[in-house]
Structure 1
Amino acid sequence: MRLNDLRPPDTATVRTALDLAARYLTPALAAHSIRSWYWAAGFAEVLGLRPDRELLAVAALLHDMGLAEEFDAVRVPYESSGGHVAAVLGAGAGWSRDLQQRLVEVVERHNWPEVDPTFDVEGHLLEIATGLDISGARPGVLPREYLQEVLGAYPRGALAADFGDRVAEQADRKPTSHAARLLAGGLRDKLAANPLESL
């Protein structure tokens, strides 16, 4: 398993999602979003899952857009606002309303405690991919060489502080949100102890 074998689909929609992530997210969050794609693609290979790769790529690249200042929503959780940013991109790309809704669902579900792959394969893959990158969940599933290659290309940088601070701010304003659940569940400690930090 190599990075070059699992690059995101080379479509106009995915290229636009990459551009939007680079434009609106901090460098640490943009790199996290790209790594989330690579972890999700890697998990799909290892687990024998067959997602819609373009849908998964756009969702992975834009899943944290709700943490960008320009898209910070007052009343809804950041994963919901991020999902709707992705849906707007899908609409502009000519995706059907059903596919636009799937983007919303996948992005929202990445913050669920667990997503059954038989219920939503793309949501499951994004949930476990972000779980690895943020909390260090399932660190032994993907080959160590692959983890190192992806981290070499897209370093973690200031992710622990950047993501931790942004989620804490969301949790403070939205105490019933998944952000508040993540923070109460020891998010900062998990970020600091993530085994990816030492690879």
Structure 2
Amino acid sequence: MNKTNLANSIVIPDSVLAKQATDLLREHSTDLLFNHSMRVYQFAAAQGRRQKRKFDPELLYVAAAFHDLGLIRTFSSPDERFEVDGANAARQFLNAHNIPEEQVQTVWEAIALHTTPGIPKYMRPEVALLNFGVLLDVLGAGFDEFPAELREKIVAKYPRAHFKEGFIREYFAGFAHKPETTYGTVNAGFCERFIPGFKSPCACDLIAASPFPDTP
């Protein structure tokens, strides 16, 4: 396959690990989140190829497959950020396949940090690329810089049917039962928008309430 065709291809890693990750995502996820996860991987992998970055497609794929599983009740804890729940599920999955710890940690960080602004782009390629794919698919970040033909091909393969409204609804539902876990994250805004009377703590108030006495 020449470089031009490679840059415009839609390729899913062909491995037992990737296939089992796909099966798990399909079993537990909704159609909306499944298509979103597939687009995220495609956008991320294509960006990595365009930038000639060295990344592990299989690890990136698993990270994309698991990145929103923490929104699903099966994987949701009562008191962790949903991103951490997804990262922990991926860790368990990869450990069961005897993947080396360094690679497991890369996937864990990619998922745990995929909603954190400003940090992932400075980390390992799989972490940075997953964040890129999420930002492009959810917010349209980098929309005009990403090749239009490839973008349209990916969306045709994994449609965005009523995605904006549906994603907001399904995303919020994934942590509505534990709004306190959204403190300090972009997700706090969802809780303030949809939970009557909810107000995320202000760091200024938390500092002022510290038990340490101040000296004159």
User: Matched residues in 2 for 1:42 and 1:69: separation?
Assistant: 31
| Aligned residue in 2 for 1:13 | 17
* Amino acid in structure 2 at the alignment position of 1:143: P
Match of 2:100 among 96, 115, 129: 96
| Aligned residue in 1 for 2:183 | 176
Deviations 1:86-143 (A, max 9, x none): 1111111110222222221111111111235452211111111100100110002221
User: Matched residues in 1 for 2:11 and 2:192: separation?
Assistant: 32
* Amino acid in structure 2 at the alignment position of 1:49: R
1:77–1:177 contact (8 Å) kept in structure 2 = no
User: Matched residues in 2 for 1:26 and 1:177: separation?
Assistant: 27
Quick check: 1:152 aligned with 2:159?
no
Give unpaired runs (5+ residues) of structure 2. Answer: 194-216
User: Matched residues in 2 for 1:39 and 1:128: separation?
Assistant: 8
Answer 1 or 2: which has greater helix percent. Answer: 1
Change (3 A) 1:115 1:182: farther
User: Matched residues in 2 for 1:87 and 1:37: separation?
Assistant: 18
The CA deviation at 1:35 is 0.5
User: Matched residues in 1 for 2:38 and 2:185: separation?
Assistant: 22
Change (3 A) 1:118 1:6: farther
Change (3 A) 1:70 1:115: same
| Aligned residue in 2 for 1:107 | 111
The CA deviation at 1:73 is 1.7
Whose radius of gyration is greater, 1 or 2? 2
Match of 2:38 among 9, 16, 34: 34
What percentage of residue pairs aligned between the two structures are identical?
25
RMSD: 2.3
Worse overlay, 177-186 or 79-88: 177-186
Aligned length, in residue pairs? 186
The CA deviation at 1:179 is 4.8
1:114–1:124 contact (8 Å) kept in structure 2 = no
1:29–1:159 contact (8 Å) kept in structure 2 = no
User: Matched residues in 2 for 1:124 and 1:183: separation?
Assistant: 24
The CA deviation at 1:182 is 5.8
Change (3 A) 1:11 1:85: same
User: Matched residues in 2 for 1:48 and 1:82: separation?
Assistant: 28
Quick check: 1:140 aligned with 2:161?
no
- Which structure 2 residues correspond to residues 65-76 of structure 1 after superposition, within 5 A? 65-76=69-80
User: Matched residues in 1 for 2:95 and 2:141: separation?
Assistant: 33
User: Matched residues in 2 for 1:138 and 1:184: separation?
Assistant: 27
| Aligned residue in 2 for 1:127 | 131
Change (3 A) 1:14 1:180: same
2:113–2:120 contact (8 Å) kept in structure 1 = no
User: Matched residues in 2 for 1:126 and 1:50: separation?
Assistant: 14
Give unpaired runs (5+ residues) of structure 1. Answer: 187-199
* Amino acid in structure 2 at the alignment position of 1:54: E
The TM-score normalised by the length of structure 2 is 0.78
The TM-score normalised by the length of structure 1 is 0.84
The CA deviation at 1:16 is 0.6
User: Matched residues in 1 for 2:69 and 2:189: separation?
Assistant: 17
